[in-house]
Amino acid sequence: MTSELTTADATTPTPPPDTTPADPRRGNLTLAAVLLAVLVVPMSISGTAVALPAISSDIGGGASGQQWVVNAFNLAFACFTLVWGSLSDRFGRGRLFAAGAATFAAGSIASALAPNIVVLDVARGVAGLGGAAIFSCGAAILSSAFDGPARLRAFALFGTTAGIGVALGPTLSGLLVDTAGWRPIFVIQAAVLLVVLTATPVIGLARPVGVAPAKFDLLGTVLLVLGLFAAMVGIVQGGPWGWGSPAVVASFVLAVALLIGFARVESRRPAPLLDLELLTHPRFMALCLVPVAASFGFVTLLTYFPTFLQFVAEQSSAKAGLVTVLLTIPVVVGPLAAGRAVGAGVNPLAVIWISLGALIAGDLGLLLAGPDTVVAVIAVPLLLAGAGMGLSAGLVDGQALALVPEEKAGMAAGVVNTMRLGSEAVAVAVYAALLTGLATRRGEEGLTAVDAYNSAFHTTLVVLAVVVAGLSGVIAVLLRRAASAS
C-alpha cells in the first residue's frame, strides 16, 4: 500500500498484516466478523438510553447513577481507543480484536446480571473498553485485509453497519424492554459477540512468527488514559457540576498537564504509543476533523431533536421517534452510496465536501421547525443532516488509514475514532449547556416555557451551522497545505 506519510520511527518492528485473507471466502468471513462486532457497539450506545427508565425502576440509582450507565461506556471507549489501536500494530490486530470482543461480551454479561447501579456502571465501563478495541482494531483489520475496490466496499459497509446499529438500537431496546425487560438487551449483545469470537481464527489471532513486538509504552499509556479521562469527566460533568466549578476546572487543568506530559514522553520514545508525526500530517488531520463536524452538525440533533418535537411540537414519543428516522435513514444508506460514487471515479474529497455542505444546509433548514411543525416541511432538512453524517462515515476511515504505513494502521484508526467519540461528547455537552442556558434566559425575559425552548433551539441551530462551517474552513486550509506540500 502506498503511503503519503513517512515515519521517523525506524526502530519500530514492522509486523506484516496478520489479517490478509488468502482467498475471497476468507476475506468475506473476516469482513462479516468485523461488521457483526461493529454493529453491536453503536447499538449498545444508542439503545441503552432507552432502557434507563426501566433500569431505574428495577435497581434504582438516582439520576447520577443512571447517567453513568451511558457515560461509563463512552468514557472507557474514548480513553482506550488509541491504546488498543496502537497495541494492535505491535501484538496482532486479530488477537486484540478478539480480546476486545471478549471484553465487551464479559461486560455485557455482567450488565445483565447487575444487582445494583454501581455494578451496572462498572460493567458498562468494561463493555466500553471492549468497544474501543472492536472499532480501532476492526478498522485496522479491514485496512490490512483489503485493497482497491474491495477495500472501498469494506469501509463503506463498515460505515453502513455502524449506521444500522445507531438506527436499530433504540427500536430493538424499546421492544425488549416492553416485552422482556432491560436485562435481555445486554444478553443479546453478549451472544452476538460470542458468535464473533468463533470466527476470529479466520482473521488470525497470533502475531506472525519471528516478529517481536515493540516494548510496551506503559508511561505513555497511563498519561494518555488519565489525561483523556480527566478531560472527559470535565466535559460530561460540566453541566451537572457547573462549568466554572472547582471540580470541573481542576479536571481540565489536570487533563492539559497530563496530555502535555504525554506529548513530551512520546517525542522521546523510539516506539511511541502515538507517533506525533500523525498529528502534523495536514491531510490526515483534515480527515479527522470531518467526524468532528458531524458530531456538531448531526449527533447533537439526533440527541435533542426528539425532545424538541415532544416539548415544542407536542408530538408523542412514538411519533417523535418515527420522525427522527428521517435523520438515521441516510446514515444507513449514505456510506454505501459514497463508496459506489468513489468506486465510479468521484473524488473522495468531493463526497466529503458534499457531506459538510449537507450538514450546514440541514441544520439551517430545521429553522423551519416550530410548534406547528409539519413533517413534510422538515423532511428535507432532516435527510440532509443525515446525509451529512452518512456520506462521510466509513469513507473518512478508509481514506485516513490509506495515508499511513501498514504498520501504523491500528494507531491511525485509534486517532480517528478518538477524535470521533471525543468530539461527540464535547458537542453534546456543550450543546446541552447552550440550549439550557438560552432557554432559561428567554424564559426570564417573559417567554413561555415552550416559546423559550423553541427560540433557544433555533439559535443553537445557527450556532451548529457556524461551527460546521468553521471546521470546514479549517479542513480546507489543511487540504490546501497538504496539496502544496505534495
pLDDT digits (tens, 9 = 90+) for 226-260: 999 999 889 888 878 888 999 999 999 999 999 99
Decide if pLDDT at 314 tops 90.
no
How much is the average pLDDT of 320-329?
87
Decide if pLDDT at 91 tops 90.
no
- Are residues 417 and 426 in contact, defined by beta-carbon separation less than 8 angstroms? no
Given the C-alpha cell 438560552, which residue does it identify?
A: 438
Distance CA 56, CA 40 (A): 23
Predicted pLDDT of residue 350 = 97
- Are residues 178 and 33 in contact, defined by beta-carbon separation less than 8 angstroms? no
Higher pLDDT, 10 or 461: 461
Distance CA 486, CA 143 (A): 23
User: 153 falls in which pLDDT band (50, 70, 90)?
Assistant: very high
Distance CA 342, CA 153 (A): 10
Distance CA 230, CA 236 (A): 10
- What backbone phi and psi angles, to 5 degrees, belong to 362? -65, -45
Decide if pLDDT at 13 tops 60.
no
Predicted pLDDT of residue 16 = 40
C-alpha cell, 456: 433557544
Q: Which of 299, 300, 308, 306 is nearest to 320 (CA)?
A: 306
Predicted pLDDT of residue 175 = 86
Predicted pLDDT of residue 144 = 85
What is the DSSP code string of 171-213?
HHHHHHHHHT-SHHHHHHHHHHHHHHHHHHHHH--SPPTT-PP
C-alpha cell, 123: 460493567
C-alpha separations of 94 from 35, 191, 214 in Å: 14, 19, 17
Least confident of 43-52, 63-72, 201-210, 324-333: 201-210
Decide if pLDDT at 202 tops 80.
no
Q: How far does Cα 175 stand from its chain's mean position?
A: 25
| CATH architecture under which domain 275-486 falls | Up-down Bundle (1.20)
What single-letter amino acid sits at 457?
A: F
Given the C-alpha cell 488509514, which residue does it identify?
A: 401
- CB atoms under 10 Å from CB of 24, counted, come to 9
Decide if pLDDT at 3 tops 70.
no
Predicted pLDDT of residue 445 = 92
User: 5 falls in which pLDDT band (50, 70, 90)?
Assistant: low
Distance CA 469, CA 361 (A): 10
Distance CA 107, CA 122 (A): 8
Higher pLDDT, 319 or 288: 288
Encode burial over 102-126: b for 16+ CB neighbours within 10 A, e otherwise: bbbbbbbbbbbebeebeebbbbbbb
How much is the average pLDDT of 108-118?
96
Predicted pLDDT of residue 373 = 83
Distance CA 294, CA 386 (A): 9
Distance CA 121, CA 261 (A): 30
Predicted pLDDT of residue 236 = 81
Predicted pLDDT of residue 10 = 37
Among 168-182, 457-471, 472-486, which range has the highest average pLDDT? Answer: 457-471
Burial class (CB in 10 A: 0-12, 13-18, 19+), 144: buried
Predicted pLDDT of residue 7 = 40
C-alpha cell, 257: 498537564
Q: How far apart are the first and last CA of the chain?
A: 18
Element (H, E) at 226: helix 218-241
Q: Which of 82, 115, 58, 161 is nearest to 409 (CA)?
A: 82
- Cα angle 235, 168, 184 (rounded to 5 degrees) comes to 90
Class of domain 17-206: mainly alpha
By three-state DSSP, how is residue 79 classified? helix
pLDDT digits (tens, 9 = 90+) for 297-310: 999 998 888 889 88
Given the C-alpha cell 421547525, which residue does it identify?
A: 369
Q: At what angle do helices 24-59 and 148-179 cross, to 10 degrees?
A: 30
Given the C-alpha cell 466554572, which residue does it identify?
A: 244
Distance CA 302, CA 328 (A): 8
User: 2 falls in which pLDDT band (50, 70, 90)?
Assistant: very low
What is the DSSP code string of 421-440?
HHHHHHHHHHHHHHHHHHHH
